[in-house]
């Protein structure tokens, strides 16, 4: 086996981990795949004779590509977005396929990714690499042109924000689904008190309508405020399809075969603590939701 074939095989062995790193960094499967491909192009042109730990080196190359993408995003945005809901990974209720499982390992819920969107590129890189993939700060520091101590501070700031804004969901999917079903049952019947009861007092609803629908991009705090918003959308209840959104109980709202929104729920201690909604028509068109139709077609 020549060196090129050897390197190709080793890269493929690490591809799922590299995609997982890139998805956490970028919040988009398509951009993650592009970043991994760019990393491969860089790796294939590099000299690897002196590389001691190939996996760590590949992770570093991929992370650097992602960091450049994040910095480019900042420069392109004329105004910062109030809310950006990352591209969700939607699966049928029957379960997540093996390829998606690698992306979603360690409970990468939509609420967590939304909080990661609020970090600076350097904070996000430090937190993702260290807290999620155990990369030492000595290796992170050169990527962000900081000392190891400064890289540690970046991760620490990010960690405080994540712990304060991204609650850990209940691990029991059945319990999650029961709570989400109760939410929609109350919404369908316009039962305001029942809605308030299923929502945590400090629940947060974050909705991303996209650049062309700024009025649909909102953040709402508090059970009564979120319940009032939910009652307004009672008419959408017939179009709700249960699904897994980033491995947790969620729904896809469709009408006439067209997705209107994807809603991810974070359920903790029997109450909804966060609802993250993507309703950007442009981004919804780019998502592959055929897995839901396939699951329905295959149902007994």
d(CA 223, CA 225): 6
Predicted local confidence at residue 84, as pLDDT: 86
Q: Hunting for tokens 């396939």 — which residue is that?
A: 294
Q: Measuring CA to CA, which residue among 143, 104, 119, 136 is closest to residue 24?
A: 104
Predicted local confidence at residue 277, as pLDDT: 94
Predicted local confidence at residue 103, as pLDDT: 67
Phi and psi (nearest 5°) for 76?
A: -75, -30
Predicted local confidence at residue 300, as pLDDT: 40
Which element (helix H / strand E) includes 90? strand 90-91
- Which three-class secondary structure string do you get for 205-253? EEEECCCCCHHHCEEEECHHHHHHHHHHCHHHHHHEEEEEECCEEEEEE
Q: Are 243 and 92 in contact (CB under 8 A)?
A: yes
Phi and psi (nearest 5°) for 121?
A: -55, -40
List the beta bridge partners of residue 244. 91, 249
Q: Strand, coil or helix: what is 205?
A: strand
Predicted local confidence at residue 210, as pLDDT: 86
Q: What is the pLDDT along the chain (300 residues), one digit of tens a residue?
A: 677 788 889 899 999 999 999 999 999 989 999 999 999 999 888 777 677 788 899 999 999 999 999 999 877 664 455 688 999 999 888 776 666 766 666 567 888 999 999 999 999 999 999 999 999 999 999 999 999 999 999 999 999 999 878 788 888 999 999 999 999 999 988 899 999 999 999 999 999 998 777 778 999 999 999 999 988 877 887 889 999 999 899 999 998 878 899 999 999 999 999 999 999 998 898 887 776 765 555 444
pTM: 0.85
Predicted local confidence at residue 142, as pLDDT: 96
């Amino acid at each position: 086996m020549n060196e090129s074939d050897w390197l190709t095989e080793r890269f493929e062995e690490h591809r799922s981990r590299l995609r997982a790193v890139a998805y956490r960094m970028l919040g988009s499967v398509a951009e993650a795949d592009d970043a991994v491909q760019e990393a491969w192009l860089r790796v294939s042109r590099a000299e690897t004779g002196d590389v001691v730990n190939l996996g760590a080196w590949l992770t570093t190359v991929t992370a650097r590509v992602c960091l450049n993408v994040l910095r480019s995003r900042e420069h392109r945005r004329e105004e910062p977005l109030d809310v950006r809901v990352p591209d969700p990974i939607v699966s049928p209720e029957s379960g997540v396929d093996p390829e998606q499982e690698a992306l979603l390992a360690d409970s990468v819920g939509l609420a967590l990714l939304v909080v990661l969107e609020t970090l600076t590129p350097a904070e996000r890189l430090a937190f993702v690499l260290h807290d999620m993939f155990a990369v030492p700060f000595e290796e992170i520091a050169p990527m962000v042109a900081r000392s190891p101590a400064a890289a540690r501070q970046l991760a620490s700031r990010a960690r405080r924000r994540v712990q304060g804004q991204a609650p850990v969901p209940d691990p029991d999917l059945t319990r999650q689904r029961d709570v989400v079903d109760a939410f929609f049952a109350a919404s369908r019947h316009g039962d305001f008190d029942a809605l308030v009861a299923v929502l945590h007092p400090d629940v947060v609803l974050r909705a991303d309508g996209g650049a062309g629908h700024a009025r649909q991009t909102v953040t709402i705090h508090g059970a009564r405020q979120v319940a009032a918003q939910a009652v307004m959308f009672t008419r959408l209840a017939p179009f709700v399809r249960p699904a897994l959104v980033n491995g947790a109980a969620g729904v896809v709202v469709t009408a006439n075969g067209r997705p209107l929104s994807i809603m991810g729920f974070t359920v903790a201690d029997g109450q909804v603590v966060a609802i993250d909604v993507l309703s950007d028509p442009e981004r919804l068109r780019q998502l592959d939701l055929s897995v839901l139709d396939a699951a329905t077609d295959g149902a007994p």
